[in-house]
Structures are given as structure tokens and as C-alpha cells.
Structure 1
């Protein structure tokens, strides 16, 4: 319109009301001023003002302010109305999360309708995504490829939006579903806006339990740490090496040697991050990554091939102890049943007036105390039995895992396989740096904590001495 006005294609602009010309006072006044510069007259069909005299321009300014106020009031009412509806749990537009649908009353409900050509619903697909993430630790890329291979339609495809790039599963779309709190039963309204506003949490039907949702977030974070597509160098113990001095992790990096060749090292993050004047920078020793990776990997292989006491812990003594506990529990159960019989016998004697009320009170008090002692012992034995069974099951699972790992290292072992094995066996690697007076270089002790051992496995003194010379 401004271009046409500048080219003199019209000389008068007619509108029904001033608020049809613009909703903001600044927009209206700037627009009127610009059009007048081009020689265009401004007229309203319902408002008598003339911009050619001061009174008319004053009235124009008032009407522009009224239009701006009306717009602000409308937005405010819409804002409060939307917030009120959101607090009541209503869905306020847009494509609802995958696995849900909006019912006739405007609330989110779990979509249990089977997908066309499939025997599973949208909700089942959402559960599948969480199961693949939590149980199999699959990345979002692998999950997206798997869903595309199955031919599972996306929400956009189901709603009929025929756009190629939104009709296929993408890693970002999978990740958005995993981090969406609605799947654990809480939807956050107002989170996607760029404006400063209140985030309204409302309850919706959950598709997965909160524990599964929380585990999926941990797997996402772990997968992010494990992502190697952008990494130029591979470090077997990435995120597993920790400094005993400052408590921070070691990160893999490289430095040129005397020949200009890059040599990989594990460097404490406390040496590069500022921790204040008091703490200063950590003085931990840099550890050659190739040496440490090889040492820990050899320990893992040795542990897999010779787990030692782990395979022999399931001894007959444990089974015998379990049998003894179960036998004692049966005795306690029988004794408690006899106590009920004794109570009835005492009451029968009282009815026959063979004993007094005081005798009844004393005898019942004794029985109550004896029952309490038996129940305490019963509870104690059940806890012991539960702990014993959990220990046996844990060690059985450990044996199965070790047998599986033994099969993996029997053939050619890739870096990814090594990394997977190390993650399953090594809880953490602790680096202790000791600065000894009179020595130029600090001594370093490496402690490897295995998942199946509560005892810290340390490298021998000869190796520690070698590290101190590096």
C-alpha cells in the first residue's frame, strides 16, 4: 500500500474504523504520517476527524490510543482465558503429543486405536520408543531408522500433512518425545513460547511410569557422552576417570611430543577450569591415554577369563543357609498359629470360671509379648532371605554377563566392543596424585573399581613407579 501511495495510485484512504488501520498507536500514527507525506488523505467511515487541522490530529491521537488499549484488553482477556482453560487440563490447539488424542470435551486421552496396517496404537509406539531407550540403550538415530524401517507413521502423517520431511521419523523428533514430560503424566503449558510467562503444569494420562521416564533421561545423557560421530580421537575410558584430589573427571586431549607427533592424555578438568583463589587449579598428573586404556582393558580381559571367587561364591553353604532360614520361618509360622490356639484356650477357661480375670490378663499379656518377639524375628529372617536371594540372583546375572563378554572377546574386538565391555565392567578409575618432597615428578596411583567387586583393585607398585617417571 505504501508503494502504491508513493506512486500516486490513490489520493484517499478510506477505512471503517481507525482500529482497522492499525492496532498499535505507534503503527497508526506512523502510518498516517507517512501517507500524508505522500499526499494521501485519511478518512474514517464512522469517526469524524480531519488530520488537516490541530483538533483533528489530536482526535486521531486519542482514537489511536483507544485502539491500542482495546487491543491490549482483548489480548489480556484471551491470555487469562487460555491460562484458566490450561489449568483445567484442556488442550488449547496444535498437534497433540504422539500417543494422545483430544476427546470431545477438549482433554488429552491416551490413543489406543490401532494404527492403519499395524496391531499397535500410537501409545504402543511411544512405549516402544521408551523401551528401546531404557532396555537396549538405543540412540535416537537408531530408533528413528528402526521406526522408518517398520513403516510406522508419524503424527504429521496420521493427521494428513503430506510434507516429505515431516512424514518420516527424525532423531530430533524421537528425542523430543523422550524428554516430553506428558508421557509420565505431566504436561507443561506455555513452555514453548519465547515470552516471559508462567509455566502451567497439568496432569494428563501417563503412557509410561515415572521411573521409566527418568531412566530414559539418563540414557539420553549417557548416549550424548558416548556420541563419537564428531570426535576426532577415541578414548576408551572417557567419562570413567576421576581425580581423587578435586573430584572432577578426566577428559581426553592430546599434546605434541618431541617429534611433533600427537600423544593422547587424560587431563583432569580441574586443571583447566577456574575454581576460585582458594582451590586454584588441580595439580593432578596427566595420564597417557594409550597406556591407561591398555592397562584397564587387560585387567578387564583378565577378569572375564578368570573371574576368580565370583564363580565359586555360589557354594552349598549359601544354599544350606537359605534352607535353614526357610525352615526357621516355618517354625515361627507354626508357633504363631499355636499362640492363637492358646488365646482361645485361656478364654475358654475363663468362661468356665476356672481362672480369674487377672490370670487372663497376665496370660494374654505374655502371649502378646511372645507373638511380638516371633514377628520381629520373622521380619528379620525375611529380610535376610531376601538379601540372600538378591545376592544369588545378582551373581547368576554376573556369570551370564561374563560368559557373554567372553564370547565377544573371542573374535576380533573393535573399539566399540571394547568400550561397551569397559562400561559394563568398570565403575570408575580413580587417579591419585601424590607430590613427594624432594622429587621432581609426582607419583601416581591408579585404582580401578570393577562393578562386581566391592574391593578397589589397584595397580602394582612397579607400575605406579613407572607412571611417576612419565
Structure 2
């Protein structure tokens, strides 16, 4: 005689429906067992549980007892689950794999018969359709959120933000790390050196681990920081506040793109002297270094071209119909250097600037930024306390947030203390004014003997930006000019 495990499920909403109550299901199932001369091993009941998932106490208990009976019996297929995907999983992977058949009275579904096994195949088709429908619905949901400017949900929240009430909210301490990464990379540091710098300062990622070069790389490529939401290659304006301004983000994207081209062509590596300084005079987007060749293995031709003309990446394109052309690298580099050599340098201004700036400007900017962040954290704590006192936020929600703010405050205070020590040490390493004046008198010689990176440093010191149409129009940094 076959042993049967009876399974009954009823949701809260179904309890009042005729035929779906626990008693009604029990009576029909027991009567069916008597008609079949089956012995009832046990009755498993999930009272008040939805059929949308299978995490239920009675079904879990039944699965633990699979070796004790021969058949699982239900009144209707959806009593097991409303998801065909879950039904297939339970019947095929759990019941049949343990030599337990499955019977549903209402649909005459019996896996011990040829018809029942055929029905199992049909069920598998519908389960796959259900999976694909869920995937498509998830994609549509993520696309809708992106178009509304909302974070897509799931995965790790980008460092620099907290996810509160369905919104990305800037975390001042973590945002400081993001700003540091973009600044250092724009100034020429590589991924690994940036990671080392962050780790020396005691910074941590969102997972409370040390920074790695790959994490730095991902951060620099994340368009969330410039106020965009990316989904499936499309970019939408986000409802969150950006951490990085667009000018810096575009500059970093330009450097990343050039570095990628250089790396992929390392056997014939080319350095673009003006990368990060060029802007298209037609559409206003940035200009990047690029190369082309005629045929496989043919000679490479190096030039500058604007992102709109390239039509990629999408967030850099300002005018798909930009009338700009490409500029030969040698020609544009030569015209800019020629203008540089004709500059009237102001010795008096440089001497005055030297006397005023014996200390590192960047160090003091960092100090000012840290002090601003301390002030902002104090303001956030005060705002949270005001909300709590006004009864607008419960104590259990405020305590965790305030604890996090105090932890951030301690980290900033430690970094500020280290920075103050660094300022004192830095002031003891002044550059000789005589050396500077000697170099100014031999500018052309300096340029001729300078390495590529040294030439880049010179250009960045004298040039704010270069706007290119037919000819380059240079906006000079006037601090070193007559």
C-alpha cells in the first residue's frame, strides 16, 4: 500500500472562499486517498501563506521527510505554488529525484502515468516562459527607474552615496574619497598609485576593504558620480546630486580613453601631448587622441577628433552632426608649441608668486575640504536631532545614522591631524628661487631636453584650455604671463 503525504495551503485572502478552506481541502484529499486505498503518512498544512514563493514551514518539513512516503498529494496545482517555475523545481528536482510521485486531483496530474509525465514536459515549457517573463519584467522595471532618474536597485551602492528612501544621498566622508580619486587621476597618477595613496590615508571601500587598482578604475568610469543613471548603454539624467562636476568627469573620461588606445597599441605606443586640454569649437565637447590605419598591418595615422564626431561614448556626444574634422597630431601639437614659445614670461609675477606660495597650495585645499566636511557632518547630526525632537523620525532609525556620522567624523579628524603634520614637514622643503629664474632664461632649451611627461606638465601650467576649429585658440593661464 502506497504512503501519501497530503499538502494543504491556504492564503489569508482565500480562507473565506468556498472550496479553498483547510477543512474543504482536507475532506476531498482524504476521500481521494480512501478511493485509491492509499495510506496517509501525514498531513502538512501551511495556513495563511502566499503561493508566490516556496519558503513555507510545512513545505520545508515535507521536503525533509521525502524518504518516508511514495506520493505527494494536493487538491489543486497552485496549492503547491502559484509559480510554474517553483512547481517544476519541487516536482522534478525534489519529488521525482527522491522517487516520490506527485498527484494533483483537480488537474488529474499524476507523474506515475504517461500523461502525467507528458504534462511535466508542458509544465517545463511554461516554467521557462515564466522565467523569461520575470526577466523581461525586471528589465522593464530597471529601465523605467533609469528613465525616472532613480538608482536601478540591486548590487552595490556606488561609494560616496547612501541609499535612503529610494534615493541616492551623498555620504560626505565617502564622497571625499571619490573626489580624491578623480583629482589624482586627472593629475597623472595611475590606478595602482591612487589605490596605494588611499590605503595609506586609511580609506576603505563600501565593503570595508582596502582599495585596489580595479576598484579605482571602476570608480573613474562610473557615470553615477556626474549625475547620470546608466542602463543598457543609455544614459539618463539622475534625480540624485552629482559628486563630480562634468568638466572633471569628461577630462578623466578623455584620459581613460587615450590610455586604453595606448595600451592596446603598446608595440607602437603614441603619446598625445595635448590630451585633456582640447575642446571642439563647433559642438563644445572634448577632443581626444585617436588613430587610424589603411588596411591590416598598414601604417597608423595619429590625429585628434571630437567625441561628437566619433559618436561615442554616448554621454560625451553633444551634437551627432558636428561639422568638425580630425586634426593631425603633429600639426596641432606643433601649432600649440609654437604659440607657447612666443609667450612673454613675467619674471616679476613669477617671483612674487613664489614668495606668496612657499607652502603647497594643494595641501591647503585638502585641509580646507576636510574642515568643510567636518562642518557638514555636524550640520547633518543637528538636522537629524531636530527631526527626532519634532517626532518626524523614530529613534531606531536615527541612532544608526548618527553612529555612522560620528565614525566618519573621527576618520576625517584623523586625516586632518595627519595633513597638518604633512604641512609642517612640507614647509621645510622649499624650491630654490635661483633655480626657477635660471630655468626661465632657457625656456626653449628646457623644452628641447624635457621628457614627454615634463612637457605635459609645462603645458598644463601655462594653458587653461584649447578650443579648436580650423586653428587652435588657446586660453592661457595668465599668472605666469606679462
Same fold, judged at TM 0.5 (above): no
> Under TM normalisation by the shorter chain, which class is it?
0.3 to 0.5
TM-score, normalised to structure 2, is 0.40
Larger Rg: 1
TM-score, normalised to structure 1, is 0.40
